[in-house]
Amino acid sequence: MAEELKVFRTWSSPYALRIIWALKLKGIEEYETIFEDITNKSPLLLQYNPVHKKVPVLVHDGKPMSESLVILEYIDETWKHNPLLPQDPYERATARFWAKFGDEKLLKSVFNFLITQGKEQEEAIPQVIENLKYIEEQLKGNKFFGGETIGYTDIAFGWTANLLSVFEEVTGIKLLDEEKFPLLSAWMRNFSDVPVIKENWPPRDKLVIKFQATREKYLAAAVAGGGPK
Amino acid sequence: MAEELKVFRTWSSPYALRIIWALKLKGIEEYETIFEDITNKSPLLLQYNPVHKKVPVLVHDGKPMSESLVILEYIDETWKHNPLLPQDPYERATARFWAKFGDEKLLKSVFNFLITQGKEQEEAIPQVIENLKYIEEQLKGNKFFGGETIGYTDIAFGWTANLLSVFEEVTGIKLLDEEKFPLLSAWMRNFSDVPVIKENWPPRDKLVIKFQATREKYLAAAVAGGGPK
């Protein structure tokens, strides 16, 4: 009997993209994709992820899961071929540490850079740079975070490979100096060249428009709230 | 050759306590404990956790790790007896989901309750209650999150079993109505009765003093900043 496998995503969510990448890296092509409109979420999404009400949700044989990093571990434990996480417990801890860092520190700092201007943005930039330096350091001696092939940490950091430059375009400010970040810059190219990655990026022009609107919304709210805090 | 095992903690950190609990549940008693003073962190702590500069840090045979949930997984993968996580991938995903929820949603809402007053605190309380309801729901049919014995999710939520009532005492406001949360209330008693847990709680009177000071510091800052935002 064929397995039931469904992915709830949006066209742009970098978290949902992780699940698509992971399934494809496992060679799993037989799944149903449900594209959600976040301004009008489906009853099924709300039923499957009542806590966060967000994509991605993976449903496997009736069992719903959310939180992209949690789903990645589930995928890796359920379909054991082409492992995403390394086998050694310390390397696994390192991979999990950096994935968590990416979501809690780096992503936050980069988003803060996107939605601010003036002095506030000037203060946001060094935080992004500091966070990027940690990643540069992690890539020493490796093509990918997982070694010679992409894995869990690459998938977790994958959003940087397109969104950093989208945010640069939206703000008109260059963040990533290739001379200062040679390893990260090379990683972004190598990562984006992996067929599974290359074939599944959301359209760049649509991302630029989306994040322009995000930026404008936050800037307008900051002005309405009495100027940037 | 004996293994080198060191835990960097503070007397009060609920995150660090998770590591102590996990080691003891694994029957590992041979480790060195380094008590940090967070107002004067040791050079070793800063060297081992340069990103977050926080406890807990676990050092195993020269390999330093931080982030308590990441360390729990390392402990479980390195010493496989008395497993903390369930074996089934979906149950593992569920355990990880709720641990993450506890740190990102519940803990944040409870802390917000601790450090606010008046209208702001009145708005904070329903968020705590909503988050606690999810946990109550998870305990249906189970003594512990992991079934009949404590495991990863119990350890992750462990802080609620003492800090919720400490915060109630500090604020003078009752959060947890036992009639509305019978399962969570029973879990708190059962969890606290497990010898490894009971023997390792920080002194309650010191916690009350510590979090009274935390509350006063935040309230003073809110007033200095022009009143609660």
Q: What is the mean pLDDT of residues A47-72?
A: 97
Instruction: Note whether A25 contacts B: Cβ–Cβ < 8 A.
Output: no
Q: Which residues of B touch A94 (CB under 8 A)?
A: 65
Percent of chain A past pLDDT 70, that is, above it, reads 97
CATH number among 3.30.590.10, 1.20.120.430, 1.20.1050.10, 1.20.120.1200, domain A89-224: 1.20.1050.10
Q: Which chain B residue lies closest to A104 (C-alpha atoms)?
A: B104
Q: What is the mean pLDDT of residues B139-147?
A: 91
Amino acid A223: pLDDT: 85
| Mean pLDDT score of chain B | 95
Q: Do the Cβ atoms of A93 and B100 come within 8 Å? A: no
Tell me the shortest Cα–Cα distance from B152 to chain A, in angstroms. 14
Give the A:B interface size as CB pairs under 8 Å.
Answer: 56
Q: Which residues of B touch A74 (CB under 8 A)?
A: 89-90, 92-93
Q: Which residues of A touch B100 (CB under 8 A)?
A: 67, 70
Tell me the shortest Cα–Cα distance from B84 to chain A, in angstroms. 15
Tokens encoding A15: 């978290």
Domains of chain B, by residue range, sit at 5-78, 89-224
| Mean pLDDT score of chain A | 95
Question: Does B147 score more than 90 pLDDT?
Answer: no
> What is the per-residue pLDDT across A85-114, written as a single tens digit (0 to 9) for each?
999 999 999 999 999 999 999 999 999 999
Mutate to test the interface with A, among B51, B69, B79, B136 (most CBs of A within 10 A): B51
Q: What is the ipTM of this complex?
A: 0.95
User: How many angstroms separate the CA atoms of A27 and A165, rounded?
Assistant: 29
Instruction: Note whether A67 contacts B: Cβ–Cβ < 8 A.
Output: yes
Q: What are phi and psi of A35, to 5 degrees?
A: -85, 120
Burial (CB count within 10 angstroms: exposed 0-12, middle 13-18, buried 19+), residue A93: buried
Tokens encoding B206: 């010191």
Third-level CATH fold of A5-78: Glutaredoxin (3.40.30)
Percent of chain A past pLDDT 90, that is, above it, reads 93
Count Cα neighbours of A226 within 13 Å in the Cβ-side half-sphere: 2
> What is the per-residue pLDDT across A212-222, written as a single tens digit (0 to 9) for each?
999 999 999 98
Provide the H-helix boundaries in B6-159: 14-25, 43-48, 68-78, 89-101, 107-114, 118-138, 152-157
Q: Do the Cβ atoms of B65 and A90 come within 8 Å? A: yes
Amino acid A2: pLDDT: 64
> What is the per-residue pLDDT across A114-135, written as a single tens digit (0 to 9) for each?
999 999 999 999 999 999 999 9
Q: Which residues sit opposite B64 in a β-bridge?
A: B59
Q: Which chain A residue lies closest to B63 (C-alpha atoms)?
A: A90
User: How many angstroms separate the CA atoms of B83 and B66, rounded?
Assistant: 20
> What is the per-residue pLDDT across B24-83, written as a single tens digit (0 to 9) for each?
999 999 999 999 999 999 999 999 999 999 999 999 999 999 999 999 999 999 999 999
Give the nearest partner residue to B73 out of A63, A65, A93, using CB atoms: A93
Question: Does A153 score more than 70 pLDDT?
Answer: yes
Tell me the shortest Cα–Cα distance from A117 to chain B, in angstroms. 22
> What is the per-residue pLDDT across B189-226, written as a single tens digit (0 to 9) for each?
999 999 999 999 999 999 999 999 999 999 999 888 75
Question: Does B119 score more than 60 pLDDT?
Answer: yes
Amino acid A31: pLDDT: 97
Q: Do the Cβ atoms of B67 and A100 come within 8 Å? A: yes
Window 73-132 of A, Cβ < 8 Å to B = 73-74, 77-78, 89-90, 92-94, 96-97, 100-101, 105
